[in-house]
Amino acid sequence: MPRKATEAAAIKKPAAKRTVTRRTKKREATEPIVLTWEHVATRAYYIHLEAGGDPLENWLRAERELVAA
């Protein structure tokens, strides 16, 4: 037996939820930083001024810090 028009309207599916999509700004491509001997030497010098210590250890620490940045 067919349903009445009012019953069919009452059984409608709920409207689908809308999702909000946020647009993000595109990042510009940056050129990679070239790590030079001068960069490492300068950082090793400042490490030496702060803490003293072995020059080789300061050099290796400077390289690690600059590569990580």
Domain membership of residue 49 (yes or no) is yes
In a domain, residue 5? The reply is: no
Confidence bin at 6 (pLDDT 50/70/90): low
Question: Count of domains in the chain?
Answer: 1
Query: Is 56 within a domain?
Result: yes
The model's pTM: 0.54
* pLDDT tens per residue across span 20-66: 777 777 777 677 778 999 999 999 999 999 999 999 999 999 999 99
pLDDT value of position 57: 98
Q: Confirm whether 25 is domain-assigned.
A: no
Where in the sequence is the domain holding 62, given as residue range(s)?
Answer: 32-69
User: Is 6 part of a structural domain of the chain?
Assistant: no
User: Cα–Cα distance between 52 and 42 in angstroms, integer?
Assistant: 14
Q: Is residue 1 part of a domain?
A: no
